Chain A
């Protein structure tokens, strides 16, 4: 395999890891928020006490 292709793959997986690491939980929250019919108030999602 070409060295340049390897470089691209390595950088791509590093970027993918970064996106997954910080974006996965916001993605779940967004999907869950949009799909629940009585829209839960945002405070209920983020605060343990509400």
Chain B
């Protein structure tokens, strides 16, 4: 924080400007709504104000610098006056505090105020059917509901706590090189296992304010590519492709997502084919009903072969009674029900439980699986542990030995089958 303020002051001073001072306007405040910056969501931040004199070019340089800094959520410059002597009159001891330049480190200023015309609400024109939509929208805006997030990220907290996405096997070395704030390159080496040859993966990531490009290629020349482009602040286009040397393993997916004030709408196409219309198409809609509850629905339309069509619908519910508890329930068609509960026990520890019920009538398959996981976040290490109802117990330890150097150990024991997996890894960032 101090480094950020110092750097901003230096930027102004180096270009012949003057810094009058800094004002701390609130430390670790809860933000009025969740904000996203640099691919991360923030719910709390600190508000800072920097009062300075400089020419417009310096202001521009300062703003572009702040926009790049990952510690800054929102930044804004407000001009006080054009002429210096208007600002500090003779005999005045204090310059006006309004219109200062803000250097929020992890904060927001000037959040949108939704004006509600109360006059219009009183004269509800019940004879005008077009007015119903307007009145409903006004009422909805007045509720000031938060955006519910994305449909796939509904159980994001549980996914971050559970081991399933982080588990690995064998020896692994991950060397990430941050060549600039926008560009990053990763080399991943994986030691061979009985049944899996050694492999090397090269990944490049370019991240901008509007775009994210991620490409990963391994020794079998399989490519995993991702491209996200923000067409506007609310509309985002995302695409993903997995290309292999054989066509059967190749996949292409494109989706466009619109983030409204209290809803998210998403349209996705997987392997669409212009020739015969085959592919999988999804449309989903997620809406906040109350500040704690959001409900979503998804429609799936499948066309695996030119004359074969199938549809199914899924529903999901997310209930967050407070910042440290989340309940999520999701159905998929008529055959799958997933429920999860996530609880933040302290700022260093959180736990999650997930229950999945499968009922596929066509295959006669009815079973359930349940897993409980815990994550401990310490200053120099992260420990994740998970236990399954199939008798699988697994653990992952990530130890930060030096800045940019961490050591990982993972182990999994399957008590019912008598199998085990063990992994050792290194993550180096330079």
Contacts and interface: CB of A to CB of B under 8 A. Distances in A.
A45 B179 contact: yes
How many of chain A's residues touch chain B, expressed as a range? 20 to 34
A24 B179 contact: no
Contact of B182 (A21, A32, A44): A32
A24 B215 contact: yes
B274 A17 contact: no
A25 B250 CA distance: 17
Interface of A is mostly: helix
B270 interface: no
B300 interface: no
A45 B241 contact: no
B297 interface: no
Nearest to A5: B275
B319 to A, nearest CB: 40
Contacts of A29: 185, 204
A27 B215 CA distance: 10
B315 interface: no
B225 A20 contact: yes
Nearest to A21: B243
B175 A32 contact: no
A35 interface: yes
Contacts, number: 67
Contacts of A13: 274
A35 B206 contact: yes
Contact of B243 (A6, A17, A27, A36): A17
A32 B178 CA distance: 11
Contact of B206 (A10, A32, A44): A32
A28 B204 contact: yes
A47 B180 CA distance: 16
Contacts of B241: 20
B187 interface: yes
Interface of A: 1, 6, 9-10, 13, 17, 20-21, 24-25, 27-29, 31-33, 35-38, 40, 44-45, 48
Given A25-B204, A32-B180, A48-B175, 10 more contacts: A20-B223, A25-B202, A32-B182, A35-B180, A36-B180, A36-B182, A40-B180, A44-B179, A45-B177, A45-B185
6 contacts: A25-B202, A25-B215, A32-B180, A37-B180, A40-B179, A44-B179
4 shortest interchain CB distances as A-B pairs: A32-B183, A36-B180, A48-B187, A40-B179
